[in-house]
Structure 1
Amino acid sequence: MRTGFRVALLAGTCLAATPAAAQDAELEARLDRLETLVMGLIERLDAQEGQMEANQAESAAAAEAALAETRAMQARQEELAAQIEEPKKQEDKGFRVGNTTVSYAGYVKLDAISQRTSGGQVASGSIVRDFLIPGAIPVGGEASGWDTDFNARQSRFIFKTSTDVGAEHKLNSQIELDFMVTPNGDERISNSYQPRLRQAFITYDNWLFGQTWSTFQNVGALPDSLDFIGTTPGTVFERQPMVRYTNGGLMLAVEQPETTVTTPTGGRVLAGDDTLPDFVARYNLGGDWGSITAAGILRNLRITDDDFGTGEDSALGYGFSLSGKIALGDKDDFRFMGTVGDGLGRYIGLNIVNDAALDANGDLDPIFTYSGFAAYRHLWSDKLRSNVAGSYFKADNPVLLTSGAVTDESWNVLANIIYSPSRPIDIGLEYMYAERTLESGESGNLQKVQVSTKYSF
């Protein structure tokens, strides 16, 4: 295009400057000068065009760099927003003191429970009348009538804090109280119960320090039940002090050790001589379809001479648990847990059996167990839902060392319907049947009808 412009300019100039009949030397000289002038002009135009292209390239590079910087700033802003999201949520329910946001949560719950047992009477005021404890279902006695109790002991209060320590770090804490399994209460005059510490922990970035649910337990898989746990025989259930590191779906923890031992008469001894913590590794995988958790645990079970007078001994305990919550359609879900291992006693079903027994030489013999549960939740509407669930526990007790008075297996089933007239209120009705069988073959069952009203805040 530039070449055509040059030719046209030169031709037009020559035609304008040359008479039709004049071909003398002066005209030739003028044409030479004019051609030189035109070529210089063309060179200047080329130079200006090149400079314009260079300027355009430089401007484009600057614009691209500015765009990248803007995107980086946006990403940083999003990161900062995520870091302050939890304090903002907490501030909605609390208040700010200096650079710390203090918030609260919890619920008030009334339970009305009527239950009967086939193998003996449960004493008034016993925690066995508050929620299912499989290892305490009476066996071998006379059947009881239906015993009815009202209590609000499961009501819970949670304090949370979130402290601003700069954009690079997160510092939070939580303390949680309720009134379950505490002494000095009564059903005669005041129905007063002492508060107890459930959870108390600090989180700093990826680290947790304090008391909370064991890393070996998946709380997210628990069924939607009115009973305190629900599928207790098949459930990993443990709350204890620990140090935990979390990175994405990976969780690694060292947790409080405690060895429970079955004596030759079927009794229980807490040795208290542990030297190594329980080691737990866990991985969580989730998506729109639900979530699955795999967890493994290693334990060092230990006794010394002051426990049984038989000398010092230790044994390896281990276990594996797979659990999850799977979405079924838009609203329903299926929840499950399966656990197997040796020396897991105190982690399963509220310590249905112990971690180990003593053999004839006074050495520890870990007790092998397997357990699990399954639960299905169906939403009839936005305000009405139902749950059905069942669980099972089995122990391979060394009977020659434990006697026939220890639990061999336990199982239960439950069904409920829960109505929520408004979002924070649940009103439910639940029926449960549970059974316990000893190594001797004796068994006992428990039937329970529970009505609960719960207000979450």
Structure 2
Amino acid sequence: MNRHVVAKARPRVLAVALLAALAAPGMAFGQTAKEQELEARIAQLEAQVQALLSQQQQQQTEIAETRTQVTEVRTAQARAPAAAAADGKGIQPGTIMTAANPGTTFSYGGMIKFDAMVTDTSDGRIADGSAGRLFYVPSTIPVGDDGADGGDAYTDQHAQFSRFWFSADHATDGGDKFKAYIEADMFGGGSNALLGNETATNTYGVSLRHAYVSWNRWLAGQTWSNFMDVGALPDAVDFVGVTDGTVFVRQAQLRYTNGPWSVSVENPQTTVQSYAPFSPAAGARFNTGDNVLPDVTARWITRGDWGHFTVAGLVRQFKAGDETETGAAVSASGKFNLGASDDIRYAVNAGQGIGRYLAFGMGSDVMQDASGDIHALDGYGGFVAWRHVFSPQVRTNLMYAAAHYDNDKSLIGFGVTERSHSLHANVIYSPFPKLDVGAELIFGQRFLEDEREGDLTRLHTHVRYTF
């Protein structure tokens, strides 16, 4: 039964298929015009889509390449300081000084230093606004009559020893080396009478510390005297610390250095203590500005893993009006390492007319008699300091300094300084590299020729960040 039905249906299915095959060409021919327009638009859209896809792929490729380049640059920048430290060269790829020689490199640095101190003096107060209120200056310790009362202790705070410096360095293809250096701080008083005080704004003027140019072995300009050993200065909280026994002078000079030897001719100046025979008060102290010949210095230094040792000599001419005198001085100083955690720093200074070079000029260069003749004043002083490092964060220093002058009392009286000494002990904490927080206890005494004396006791603290 089923087979019969299927057999009868087959001719009908075949007929329908044949009819569809015969009608298809006509139907296709009737729709060609519309479909061709539609297909053209579809093809155009497909081309635009393909172009957009290609552009997007190109942009993604460029972005990936840019990211790779940025990563490479950052990696090179991170490695540059280590490479510069290894070869001794700076990381600056080119000059940023438009007026400098091609290839000149520029550097900048300095420090911010906040000082706070409480001072107690036995014979009156140090004058407000004077240098002795900012750091330890033995010549400013008040000395009065027996039984004089210095009153209550007094407090000072300032940031005047903050400083900054600029350096421009250049090396030629022939190996010549040039350097220009300038440094300043704010230890120079106010810019005007209204602002340059502690009443309101504590505005202070910029003071020149160093300004020099060097060319290979030559140096010309203002910097530390060749008679001074900066490397022997102790690690103090106070600006200097061992001021009594320290040679401390910055001045204009022309210097030549060859290996361990250096010689210089430096700016001359004569300080005079005037005639005041057997007077209980000192005579006038003044600078003459009459010098003709410069101060001449020579230094020899040797260095090693153990530290350094140096000897320096000084020859000077003194002149007041038409009167002249000569003097000479010598200094021996250095630093001796006692293992990795301890060192000893020291200096011994002595000579005729060493006055303005020692202890911030506590003694004069010459004494003047009644006829106007001048006589070189003998003086000597020194210091010793022990430094101990407990850890990279904590260190301590113990220091002692003294100075003495052989005044002729028959010429300048009893009111001049005969000697001074001081003892310092400090602790300095560095919670981070370049950041110091320190406290220093200072006890100092100044004695006059008539044996009157004045005491100073001070707690000096600071916060210092070096950059």
So what's the TM-score if we normalise by structure 1?
A: 0.78
- Give 1:173's aligned residue: 180
The Cα of 1:190 is off from its aligned counterpart by: 0.8
CA contact (8 A) 2:94 2:104 kept: no
The Cα of 1:283 is off from its aligned counterpart by: 0.5
CA contact (8 A) 2:188 2:206 kept: no
- Give 2:158's aligned residue: 151
CA contact (8 A) 1:177 1:198 kept: yes
- Give 2:130's aligned residue: 126
CA contact (8 A) 2:244 2:421 kept: yes
- Give 2:78's aligned residue: none
Matches of 2:269 and 2:87, distance apart in 1:
38
Cα displacement string for residues 64-97 of structure 1 (whole angstroms, at most 9, x for unaligned residues): xxxxxxxxxxxxxxxxx99x976x3484999565
Structure 1 residues 303 and 124, CA gap change in structure 2 (3 angstroms): closer
The Cα of 1:427 is off from its aligned counterpart by: 0.5
CA contact (8 A) 2:228 2:249 kept: yes
- Give 1:419's aligned residue: 429
The Cα of 1:169 is off from its aligned counterpart by: 0.3
The Cα of 1:135 is off from its aligned counterpart by: 1.1
Q: Which amino acid aligns with 2:311?
A: A
Asked if residue 434 in structure 1 is aligned to residue 438 in structure 2, the reply is no
Matches of 1:92 and 1:123, distance apart in 2:
51
CA contact (8 A) 1:234 1:373 kept: yes
Cα displacement string for residues 196-248 of structure 1 (whole angstroms, at most 9, x for unaligned residues): 00000000000000000000000000010011100000000000000000011
Cα displacement string for residues 113-138 of structure 1 (whole angstroms, at most 9, x for unaligned residues): 11111111123322211011111111
CA contact (8 A) 1:90 1:160 kept: no
Matches of 1:362 and 1:264, distance apart in 2:
8
Asked if residue 285 in structure 1 is aligned to residue 302 in structure 2, the reply is yes
Asked if residue 209 in structure 1 is aligned to residue 220 in structure 2, the reply is yes
- Give 1:296's aligned residue: 313
Q: 3-state SS of the aligned residue for 1:446?
A: strand
- Counterpart among 374, 387, 401 of residue 411 in structure 2: 401
- Give 1:102's aligned residue: 106
In the TM superposition, what are the counterparts of 1:11-410 in structure 2 within 5 Å? 88-89=89-90, 91=92, 95=96, 97=98, 98-140=102-144, 141-183=148-190, 184=192, 185-265=196-276, 266-304=283-321, 312-410=322-420
CA contact (8 A) 2:95 2:103 kept: no
Matches of 1:121 and 1:353, distance apart in 2:
21
Q: 3-state SS of the aligned residue for 2:247?
A: coil
Range with greater deviation from structure 2 (196-205 or 160-169): 160-169
Matches of 1:369 and 1:404, distance apart in 2:
17
Cα displacement string for residues 389-429 of structure 1 (whole angstroms, at most 9, x for unaligned residues): 00010000011111111100000000000011111100011
Matches of 1:275 and 1:166, distance apart in 2:
41
Cα displacement string for residues 343-373 of structure 1 (whole angstroms, at most 9, x for unaligned residues): 1100000000100001233211110001000
Asked if residue 448 in structure 1 is aligned to residue 455 in structure 2, the reply is no
The Cα of 1:99 is off from its aligned counterpart by: 2.4
Matches of 1:416 and 1:162, distance apart in 2:
37
CA contact (8 A) 2:95 2:104 kept: no
Post-superposition, which runs of at least 4 consecutive aligned residues in structure 1 deviate over 6 A? none
Percent identity at matched positions? 40
Please, which runs of 5 or more residues in structure 2 have no aligned partner?
1-82, 277-282
Q: 3-state SS of the aligned residue for 1:440?
A: coil
Q: CA RMSD in A?
A: 2.0
Structure 1 residues 85 and 218, CA gap change in structure 2 (3 angstroms): farther
Q: 3-state SS of the aligned residue for 2:152?
A: coil
Matches of 2:127 and 2:307, distance apart in 1:
42
Please, which runs of 5 or more residues in structure 1 have no aligned partner?
1-80, 305-311
So what's the TM-score if we normalise by structure 2?
A: 0.76
CA contact (8 A) 2:245 2:381 kept: yes
The Cα of 1:181 is off from its aligned counterpart by: 3.9
Matches of 1:93 and 1:375, distance apart in 2:
43
Matches of 1:90 and 1:121, distance apart in 2:
51
Matches of 2:418 and 2:399, distance apart in 1:
21
Q: 3-state SS of the aligned residue for 2:432?
A: coil
Matches of 2:94 and 2:382, distance apart in 1:
37
Q: Which amino acid aligns with 1:251?
A: S
Structure 1 residues 125 and 92, CA gap change in structure 2 (3 angstroms): farther
